[in-house]
Structure 1
């Protein structure tokens, strides 16, 4: 990579007014790393290589890994019915919804935040105080009495509530909180020592505060715009290095067997031409072959993209404590590295 290539990436970061970190690795070799912006704007604390960032829906993969581990251990199967997993009142839900449907966004259940209907995640908390959302079950009143949207298996429709239910299944089968399960069976297994489901009002040292920019040039933190603690559908905090450990752990089968890892990374449903979905992960295709495993996450004051490029064995991680930026930077890096 030439100095001209480096300057082009940096130019895009500046154009995007980027606030976050960028890491590109191949195995243990660091190909590119950079940071820009502040983790705390008020105190002008700069973002560092080991700053922790929220990744919103980027951690749906953690939920899918948890379910796959439980299936591998015989606690349930992908075809187990939702009604047989949870003793919860879901009066209008279809009796044939399976774990597989929930994992692939094909269940047809109502969502508590339907991105096709609602534009602003912050609007959710006008009636439901975000500081009361502390446990997985706290999301249930936001969707459990609603009607089905379509028949299970009929189509793909991105669904956050489905992952809330998956998290409740993890809690039921593992007999521990969802966040404890992930931290014990994923983070600790991969030595992700700087990652966790931190409370937004008790963020640990060196954690980026999420910021929302206003039209008048001012800004505010996102503390009143997201649940106080993340869970099965999003909200974990990671460093770039820790996120890279997830990809390395997956492709080297450190979290589950080769068979179950391949099942997680299999195209289970076609979203559109050249884009499919596995279990908790997007799969980008070329000529019918997967070339990129891809995660993304967006919340107010949070944006995130991360990918693993199969042919080159390259990992990319771009978290931000701003509502946008990583996508265009990812595209520029793909151009520079010919990914």
Structure 2
């Protein structure tokens, strides 16, 4: 038995030990580790596979960022462009100087429809609002359009989902097309992500995992009443683990953006520090060493019945992707994969 087989056997045992439900794909050099566990559909006993499509929640904010960078590269907007000049919607209580840079880096201060520092359960949002009406970025507007700022512009980093809804609306206004269609055509298609898309939860295609939530009695329910029907700029796309690998390959090989714009996307923003050695940039979180060099880029996504983690190590070009169709498990399995790679 070779080293790769030993590692796969170890990860199979860990998946069972963690009661992990989902799939993973990891590559370092010529070494590939891949696997899956659990059920995409518990009732029908349909197992998760490598080509199963999983929801990734906020893990797809990077697609929104890449879409914005494409429009900047095309000369249609700039990172300094103000929100009010890029959109045809009024926000009477928002600061008039909010820029695309502010929205990308979570420093806009706009009211967040889901403030994760106050609410810890996304499911609670839909008790008073029909989640089945949320199918486009514009459908989120009643949740924050007429609210006052929650912080001053350019204040400290505060994770903000509404800011990414606004970025999606900018894409729609500037590109004159539906946001999800823009991402699917200009990012998924170019990257060879054939299994990925922004699917409606009441019209899921084949090979798509249902998300599962465990209740206090240890039984399981699907998350169909816990999420918007269709994801958008702040989260909710469906991908396979191999497709997310293809995305990082396409991005770092400059198939999506020029080399210069890719560097802009991946650059840490020193004014935006999430915690010690964890910075934020247009692409999301990243870990820096003491010399301020990027050790790894970090993607994460959490929703009821959704758990996603992915990392990219630029030094070794290591890519690890873990998707789960339950609320927990992806981070723990990713750490196991990191340890053996």
TM tier relative to shorter chain: over 0.9
Gaps of 5+ in 1: none
Inter-partner Cα distance in structure 2 for 1:104 and 1:213: 33
SS, match of residue 152 in structure 2: coil
The 5 Å alignment of 1:314-325 reads: 314-325=318-329
Which digits, 9 at most, give the CA deviation of each residue in 1:110-156, with x for residues without a partner? 10000000011000001111100011100010011111111111110
**Counterpart in 2 of 1:133?**
134
Inter-partner Cα distance in structure 2 for 1:52 and 1:62: 17
Task: Report the CA distance between 1:331 and its aligned residue.
Answer: 1.1
Task: Report the CA distance between 1:233 and its aligned residue.
Answer: 0.3
**Counterpart in 1 of 2:20?**
18
**Counterpart in 1 of 2:274?**
271
Inter-partner Cα distance in structure 2 for 1:174 and 1:180: 11
**Counterpart in 2 of 1:243?**
244
Inter-partner Cα distance in structure 2 for 1:248 and 1:289: 20
* Contact 1:26/1:314, CA 8 A, preserved across alignment: yes
Task: Report the CA distance between 1:11 and its aligned residue.
Answer: 3.5
Inter-partner Cα distance in structure 2 for 1:318 and 1:301: 14
Q: How big is the alpha-carbon RMSD for the aligned residues of Structure 1 and Structure 2?
A: 1.2
Inter-partner Cα distance in structure 2 for 1:182 and 1:199: 15
The 5 Å alignment of 1:1-339 reads: 1=3, 5-26=7-28, 29-268=30-269, 269-287=272-290, 288-337=292-341
Inter-partner Cα distance in structure 1 for 2:222 and 2:34: 26
Inter-partner Cα distance in structure 2 for 1:171 and 1:128: 24
Inter-partner Cα distance in structure 1 for 2:35 and 2:6: 15
Inter-partner Cα distance in structure 2 for 1:3 and 1:255: 34
Which digits, 9 at most, give the CA deviation of each residue in 1:279-304, with x for residues without a partner? 13211112221010111000000000
Inter-partner Cα distance in structure 2 for 1:137 and 1:267: 30
Which digits, 9 at most, give the CA deviation of each residue in 1:46-91, with x for residues without a partner? 1111000000000000000000000000010000011111121211
* Contact 1:307/1:317, CA 8 A, preserved across alignment: yes
* Contact 1:56/1:234, CA 8 A, preserved across alignment: yes
Task: Report the CA distance between 1:310 and its aligned residue.
Answer: 1.3
Task: Report the CA distance between 1:13 and its aligned residue.
Answer: 2.0
Moved more, 135-144 or 13-22: 13-22
TM-score, length-scaled by structure 1: 0.97
Inter-partner Cα distance in structure 1 for 2:65 and 2:300: 15
* Contact 2:4/2:31, CA 8 A, preserved across alignment: no
